[in-house]
Amino acid sequence: MRKDLRPLYGGKDSLPARSLKTLDLAAANSLARARLADYEREFKEKRAALNGGSPASKKAVRRTLSPETIERLAAGYRAKLIDQDFARRVAAYDHAVADPEAFWRGEIIPEPNDWKTFKGRPYSYWVYLCDDPETPLETGIAYALHARREVRLAEVKQALCLGKTDLLGSEADALLASYEHEGSDRLRLVRRLMEVEIAAQTSLLTEQAVNFPPAGTEYEDDRENPLLSAAAQSWLEEKKSLGLTARRIEDCEGAVALFIEVIGDRPIANYTKGNLRDFKNVLRALPPNRSKIRATRSLDARSAAKEAQRLGLPLILLNSGARVNEACKLRVIDIGEENGIPFFNIAWEEEDGTGIAGRVKNISRERKVPIHGDLVRFGFLEFVARARSRGTERLFPELKPNRHGKLYQTISQRFSDTFLPGLGIKTDKTSLKSFCHNFVDAARNSRLSDPVIQALKGDTYAGTLGRYGHGKTDLEILADEMKKLHFKGLDLSHLDNDRNPSKLTCEES
């Protein structure tokens, strides 16, 4: 028996031996282990009683927030920042080495927005590094990390200057969880955390500095190499004097402004072919009415293009009930109009030598699906019009077939491996195919009949009903039913406009 428990038992002989009442050795061993557990439980209760009650019965002691405590918490936060910065460096380097192209596109480290003015002209050292094919990858990584620290430092300085506690409020609340404190204590801690982070970021910028060229040295002060904005203005003034219409002048001004927004305003000789390819890719994905779309109206042009690419295929699947490959293989000629009703013509497509298999599983699934009003509001018909004006055959020419002739593999993998995990909603049962299920659920909740849902999805009627008639439902009926389709919690009425989108896209030139 432990010495600390002997006073409770009156000596070492006060706990009498108890027979196990068995002669079998195996049974005795089992009973002995059970008896030992009973003794341990009894000793634990006695020890708790000796110490003034069980630990569970004691109330947790909450510490007070003294100035010394604040300094200790701030020191811990600084150490955390240093550790996070190093972990970020390691991860950025590993990912950039594995995929340099993704790094230069700004997908591994956010692309620095470092535009400044030198001798009255804007410049960006990041753009300079990107445009120079001789730039070492390590230099780009170092500068991107450097620029990211500068942005964070400026953000914390501004928050401290304005007294914005929300920037580090959640960090402070987590540190204060086990302390008795008042509102003034929280403010003191938030302020101290900001001061510590400013010092830490400043230290990191100094310690991790790379010998970058002086600001603006990549642009020479050359009057024969004017900024694009200045050159475009002179050109437009000349065109006005030659009688160019006001509408044409406005279109040109808009195009130049968009190019400058995406690529930047630089001396015209400093643009490269890579800049033009970059602008073309952004322009191809940019919604024509991005200022009226809730998901893109607050974004710059490049971000709006990325958001539109992220949302484009899922929106068609959600609002049409089409299968993934049916949507991926849509052609410009598959978007038609009949009696004022825009529709998808989902039809069998013979092998054309491109390695792309037929779009529907069999000819019985050929159908016309009315284009839902939400897709019209999102600018889908304008997107089709732009594809038609470019002479593009398919709506999504960037999708390439796999060895089975299917186009959906790349977008499906990106959706499942990147988009869903980024939102924290990835499960084993979620994928692009989930939108077809969402469509059916919304259709039933909107009280569309099963025959109508089957007609929209291209499913054959079951039982005797499937043996009669041609199996097709008139487009007008489907369009009327589609107007009833509503997704709970989704209100897109703010996207309505005065234009008739069908006339913008569905009339053949």
Cβ-Cβ contacts under 8 Å for 124 (sequence gap 6 or more): 112, 114, 115, 116, 264
CATH number of 300-505: 1.10.443
**345 DSSP β-pair partners:** 368
Distance CA 350, CA 353 (A): 9
- The residue length of the chain stands at 509
pLDDT attached to residue 81? 93
Cβ-Cβ contacts under 8 Å for 91 (sequence gap 6 or more): none
Are the CB atoms for 457 and 319 separated by under 8 Å?
Answer: no
Are the CB atoms for 101 and 94 separated by under 8 Å?
Answer: no
Report the interhelical angle of 166-175 vs 137-162 (nearest 10°).
90
CB atoms near residue 150 (< 10 Å): 14
pLDDT attached to residue 65? 79
Q: What residue ranges do the domains of the chain occupy?
A: 3-54, 67-207, 228-285, 300-505
Distance CA 175, CA 190 (A): 10
pLDDT attached to residue 120? 64
Of 413, 404, 396, 324, the residue nearest 360 (C-alpha) = 324
Distances (CA, A) of 252 to 239, 258, 284: 11, 10, 18
Of 485, 458, 75, the residue nearest 318 (C-alpha) = 485
- Find the angle CA(448)-CA(452)-CA(456) to the nearest 5 degrees: 115
Tokens of 5: 């428990």
pLDDT attached to residue 59? 45
**116 DSSP β-pair partners:** 123
Instruction: List per-residue pLDDT tens for the chain, 509 residues long.
Output: 556 666 656 555 555 566 666 666 666 676 677 777 777 777 777 666 666 554 444 444 456 678 888 999 999 999 999 999 999 999 999 999 998 888 888 888 888 877 777 666 677 788 878 877 788 899 889 999 998 898 899 999 999 999 999 889 889 988 888 887 788 888 999 999 999 999 999 988 887 766 665 554 444 445 567 788 888 888 888 888 888 788 888 888 888 888 888 888 877 777 877 788 888 777 766 765 666 555 566 777 777 776 665 555 777 888 888 888 888 888 898 999 998 999 998 876 655 555 565 555 555 678 889 998 888 877 788 888 888 887 888 888 777 777 666 777 767 776 777 667 756 677 877 887 888 888 888 888 888 888 888 888 877 655 554 544 455 678 888 889 888 888 775 555 544 543 443 333 333 32
Cβ-Cβ contacts under 8 Å for 449 (sequence gap 6 or more): 481
The model scores a pTM over 0.95: no
Are the CB atoms for 415 and 314 separated by under 8 Å?
Answer: yes
Cβ-Cβ contacts under 8 Å for 71 (sequence gap 6 or more): 192
pLDDT attached to residue 267? 78
3-class SS shares of the chain: helix, strand, coil, % to 5: 60, 5, 35
Of 224, 247, 219, the residue nearest 234 (C-alpha) = 224
Please give, one letter per residue, the 3-state secondary structure of 50-69: HCCCCHHHCCCCCEECCHHH
CA 39 to chain centre: 58
Give the CB-side neighbour count of residue 351, counting CA atoms within 13 A: 7
What DSSP string runs through 131-157? H-TT--HHHHHHHHHHHHHHHHHHHHH
Q: What is the dihedral of CA 20, 21, 27, 32, to 10 degrees?
A: 0
Cβ-Cβ contacts under 8 Å for 154 (sequence gap 6 or more): none
